[in-house]
Amino acid sequence: MTLAVQVQQLEKQVKRVERDLTKIRFALQGLKVRQHKTNLSALQKSIGAHLVSDQDPAQALMEMRRRNRQ
C-alpha cells in the first residue's frame, strides 16, 4: 500500500468518526433533561385544595403523588 492510499483511508475514517460524533452530540442534546423549578406557591395552593379539615399536609401530598402515578 502506498502512503497516499493510507492517507486516504485515514481521512475516510476520520470523517466517519466526525459524522458519528456529530450524530451522538445531537442525540444527547435531545435527551438533556431540563430542570424544572417547583413553583412553591402553586404547590401550597394545590395541597391546600386537597386538604380535608384536619388532615396532615404531608399525607395529602403523598396521596396526590400516588394519584399522579396512576
Check whether 27 has a pLDDT greater than 90.
no
Q: pLDDT tens, 14-26?
A: 999 998 988 888 8
Burial class (CB in 10 A: 0-12, 13-18, 19+), 42: exposed
Helix ranges restricted to H, 1-70:
3-31, 40-50, 57-69
Neighbours of 61 (CB within 10 A): 15
Grid coordinates standing for 50?
386537597
> Is the separation of the CB atoms in 57 and 51 below 8 Å?
yes
Q: What is the pLDDT of residues 43-64, one digit of tens each?
A: 777 777 766 666 677 777 777 7
- Domain spans in the chain, listed from the N-terminal domain onward: 1-31
